[in-house]
Amino acid sequence: MTALHPNSYELIRPLLLGMDIHLIGRSILEKQTPAQIFVDNHEHPKALFAQAGHRYILAGDPEIDSFNLGIKQMFANVIYPRAVAAGLEGFAVYYDSAAWEEKMEALLGDKEIIHANREYYACKELKHKWQDFMPEGFQLQMVNADLLANTGLKHLETLKEEMTSERPSVDDFLAKSFGVCAIHENELAGWCLSEYNADGRCEIGIETTSDYRQRGIGTALTLAFLEHAFSHGIKEVGWHCFKRNESSAKTARKAGFDKVCDYKSYICLVKA
């Protein structure tokens, strides 16, 4: 395995764009998302293994035994122990072709893994108004410095955690991403945040706090998010969800997203 310097990322563009429903690839190429990239050959890479946050990516030729051995050793000796030390419940592994599935048990050793069915949706135009879905008594607000200055706002720390799930810091999120939230009295009822903004696209991360679910807030937030995105240069917004998460898919469809495809990923469970 050879670590790839960011100045050489163009060499792996064909590999990352082979799984283009995952916008994280374009974000890495634009150096918007910090990542560690390993390849089989630093001059003519045919396979890559990438780590960005708690996401791991396999792309390219899955039949390079020496490279696969390096991946296996990294999972066993570095990634899994680090996840245990961090108290993680698990981490996700994404891949670009079904051929990797035959290698996964060998790569992850004796660790407990789940093969998860997922769906990808996309939206390119605003089809509804958020005002038609937001319940009375709730206010819409952008996620910005003024919002974060309201330190008495309930669930504010959880929002900050979400802001840094993809960005390295809150300040980095405010500089490069955007989001909207719903407020009821002095409590955050939910938020919708952009992820992996790159090449006129972004993905969406959404959460409604437990006391405010099943009230249309998620749909209203999504539509407000889309309104802002499309008026600020975004041409396409992506939505990922687990296939079993019917409520997430329902919200996406209600907000005007169209299903693009089904795909699979792996979740490696972490046990201390």
239 Cβ contact list (under 8 Å, min separation 6): 120, 121, 122, 123, 203, 204, 248, 252, 257
How far is the C-alpha of 115 from the C-alpha of 136, rounded, in Å? 41
Model pTM?
0.92
Cα distance from N-terminal residue to C-terminal residue, the chain: 28
With helix as H, strand as E and coil as C, how does 118-171 read? EEEEEECCCCCCHHHCCCCCCEEEECCHHHHCCCCCECHHHHHHHHCCCCCCHH
- AA identity, residue 257: F
32 phi/psi in degrees, rounded to 5: -90, -25
User: pLDDT at residue 147 above 90?
Assistant: yes
pLDDT of residue 272: 65
Show the domains of the chain with their CATH numbers. 2-111 (3.40.630), 122-262 (3.40.630.30)
Checking DSSP bridges between strand 187-198 and strand 179-184, what pairing results, if any?
antiparallel
98-146 pLDDT per residue, tens: 999 999 989 998 899 999 999 999 999 999 999 999 999 999 999 999 9
What tens digit of pLDDT does each residue of 2-42 get?
A: 999 999 999 999 999 989 999 999 999 999 898 999 999 99
Residue 231: what pLDDT?
97
